Amino acid sequence: MEDRCQIRLATAADIAAVSAIEQSVFADPWTPSAFHAMLGSHALVAVSNGDIEGYIFARSMADEGEVLNLAVRQGSRRKGLGRRLLGRILAEFAEQGIRTVYLEVRASNSAGRAFYQDMGFREVGRRRAYYSRPREDALVLARELAGEGSA
Protein backbone atom coordinates (compact mmCIF):
# COMPACT_ATOMS: atom_id res chain seq x y z
CA MET A 1 0.00 0.00 0.00
CA GLU A 2 2.82 2.39 0.82
CA ASP A 3 3.92 2.84 -2.80
CA ARG A 4 0.38 3.55 -4.03
CA CYS A 5 -0.39 5.96 -1.22
CA GLN A 6 -0.36 9.66 -2.03
CA ILE A 7 0.28 12.27 0.65
CA ARG A 8 -1.39 15.59 -0.01
CA LEU A 9 -2.77 18.63 1.78
CA ALA A 10 -5.99 17.98 3.67
CA THR A 11 -9.07 19.84 2.51
CA ALA A 12 -12.47 20.59 4.01
CA ALA A 13 -13.84 17.69 1.93
CA ASP A 14 -11.57 15.31 3.89
CA ILE A 15 -12.83 16.24 7.35
CA ALA A 16 -15.58 13.59 7.53
CA ALA A 17 -13.15 10.76 6.71
CA VAL A 18 -10.47 12.16 9.02
CA SER A 19 -13.03 12.46 11.82
CA ALA A 20 -14.17 8.87 11.29
CA ILE A 21 -10.60 7.63 11.72
CA GLU A 22 -10.17 9.89 14.75
CA GLN A 23 -13.31 8.47 16.39
CA SER A 24 -12.10 4.92 15.87
CA VAL A 25 -8.57 5.54 17.14
CA PHE A 26 -8.77 7.92 20.10
CA ALA A 27 -10.71 7.76 23.38
CA ASP A 28 -10.86 11.56 23.49
CA PRO A 29 -11.20 12.48 19.80
CA TRP A 30 -10.99 15.88 18.16
CA THR A 31 -14.22 17.30 16.77
CA PRO A 32 -14.70 17.92 13.05
CA SER A 33 -14.61 21.66 13.75
CA ALA A 34 -11.20 21.28 15.44
CA PHE A 35 -9.84 19.62 12.30
CA HIS A 36 -11.42 22.26 10.10
CA ALA A 37 -9.77 25.02 12.16
CA MET A 38 -6.34 23.41 11.63
CA LEU A 39 -6.53 23.07 7.84
CA GLY A 40 -3.51 24.65 6.21
CA SER A 41 0.01 23.95 5.10
CA HIS A 42 0.70 21.49 7.93
CA ALA A 43 -2.43 19.36 7.52
CA LEU A 44 -1.80 16.27 5.41
CA VAL A 45 -3.71 13.14 4.51
CA ALA A 46 -2.50 9.82 3.12
CA VAL A 47 -4.82 8.61 0.36
CA SER A 48 -4.91 5.17 -1.24
CA ASN A 49 -7.46 4.19 -3.89
CA GLY A 50 -9.47 7.30 -3.06
CA ASP A 51 -9.71 6.48 0.65
CA ILE A 52 -8.05 8.43 3.42
CA GLU A 53 -5.85 6.01 5.34
CA GLY A 54 -4.19 8.45 7.74
CA TYR A 55 -3.50 12.08 8.57
CA ILE A 56 -1.23 14.46 10.40
CA PHE A 57 -2.03 17.94 11.68
CA ALA A 58 0.76 20.18 12.89
CA ARG A 59 1.58 23.84 13.36
CA SER A 60 4.61 26.07 13.60
CA MET A 61 5.55 29.38 15.12
CA ALA A 62 8.92 31.09 14.92
CA ASP A 63 11.50 28.28 15.03
CA GLU A 64 9.32 25.64 16.72
CA GLY A 65 6.90 23.09 15.34
CA GLU A 66 4.28 20.96 17.05
CA VAL A 67 2.65 17.75 15.90
CA LEU A 68 -0.91 18.03 17.13
CA ASN A 69 -2.54 14.88 15.79
CA LEU A 70 -1.37 11.83 13.85
CA ALA A 71 -3.38 8.70 13.15
CA VAL A 72 -3.60 5.84 10.68
CA ARG A 73 -6.73 3.78 10.02
CA GLN A 74 -6.68 0.50 11.96
CA GLY A 75 -6.44 -1.74 8.89
CA SER A 76 -3.63 0.32 7.37
CA ARG A 77 -1.23 0.34 10.28
CA ARG A 78 2.31 -1.07 10.28
CA LYS A 79 2.74 -0.30 6.58
CA GLY A 80 4.83 2.85 6.93
CA LEU A 81 2.08 5.45 6.56
CA GLY A 82 2.63 7.08 9.96
CA ARG A 83 6.36 7.21 9.26
CA ARG A 84 5.76 8.80 5.85
CA LEU A 85 3.32 11.38 7.23
CA LEU A 86 5.57 12.36 10.12
CA GLY A 87 8.65 12.31 7.89
CA ARG A 88 6.97 14.67 5.43
CA ILE A 89 6.05 17.16 8.18
CA LEU A 90 9.55 16.99 9.67
CA ALA A 91 11.08 17.63 6.24
CA GLU A 92 8.77 20.60 5.64
CA PHE A 93 9.57 21.99 9.08
CA ALA A 94 13.31 21.62 8.46
CA GLU A 95 12.98 23.43 5.11
CA GLN A 96 11.23 26.30 6.95
CA GLY A 97 14.03 26.62 9.45
CA ILE A 98 12.15 25.01 12.34
CA ARG A 99 14.72 24.01 14.95
CA THR A 100 12.69 21.91 17.40
CA VAL A 101 9.48 19.89 17.00
CA TYR A 102 7.32 18.93 19.97
CA LEU A 103 4.41 16.58 20.54
CA GLU A 104 2.49 14.95 23.37
CA VAL A 105 1.76 11.24 23.70
CA ARG A 106 -0.16 9.32 26.34
CA ALA A 107 2.17 7.90 28.98
CA SER A 108 0.51 4.48 28.52
CA ASN A 109 0.87 4.48 24.72
CA SER A 110 3.94 2.26 24.50
CA ALA A 111 3.55 1.68 20.73
CA GLY A 112 3.31 5.41 20.08
CA ARG A 113 6.25 6.14 22.34
CA ALA A 114 8.37 3.54 20.55
CA PHE A 115 7.35 4.93 17.15
CA TYR A 116 8.28 8.49 18.11
CA GLN A 117 11.55 7.36 19.68
CA ASP A 118 12.38 5.54 16.44
CA MET A 119 11.64 8.82 14.60
CA GLY A 120 14.21 10.66 16.73
CA PHE A 121 12.02 12.13 19.47
CA ARG A 122 13.13 12.18 23.11
CA GLU A 123 11.13 12.74 26.29
CA VAL A 124 11.62 16.27 27.63
CA GLY A 125 8.73 16.64 30.08
CA ARG A 126 5.40 15.48 31.43
CA ARG A 127 1.99 17.18 31.56
CA ARG A 128 0.06 15.85 34.54
CA ALA A 129 -3.55 14.81 33.83
CA TYR A 130 -3.32 16.25 30.30
CA TYR A 131 -5.80 13.79 28.81
CA SER A 132 -9.32 13.66 30.20
CA ARG A 133 -10.80 10.40 28.80
CA PRO A 134 -9.35 8.54 30.54
CA ARG A 135 -7.47 10.92 32.85
CA GLU A 136 -3.79 10.41 32.10
CA ASP A 137 -0.45 12.17 31.90
CA ALA A 138 1.08 13.16 28.59
CA LEU A 139 4.75 12.80 27.89
CA VAL A 140 6.21 15.77 26.05
CA LEU A 141 8.60 14.65 23.33
CA ALA A 142 10.96 16.78 21.26
CA ARG A 143 13.19 16.39 18.25
CA GLU A 144 15.87 18.81 17.15
CA LEU A 145 15.93 19.58 13.43
CA ALA A 146 18.93 21.93 13.32
CA GLY A 147 20.97 21.20 10.23
CA GLU A 148 18.36 18.96 8.56
CA GLY A 149 16.90 21.56 6.17
CA SER A 150 18.21 24.09 3.73
CA ALA A 151 16.99 27.11 5.67
Active-site annotation, residues: 104, 116
Q: Where are the beta strands (DSSP E) in the chain?
A: 6-9, 43-48, 51-61, 64-72, 100-106, 122-132, 135-144
Task: Name the β-bridge partners of 136.
Answer: 131
Question: Amino acid letter at 140?
Answer: V
CA distances from 89 to 49, 62, 107, 108 (A): 22, 16, 23, 25
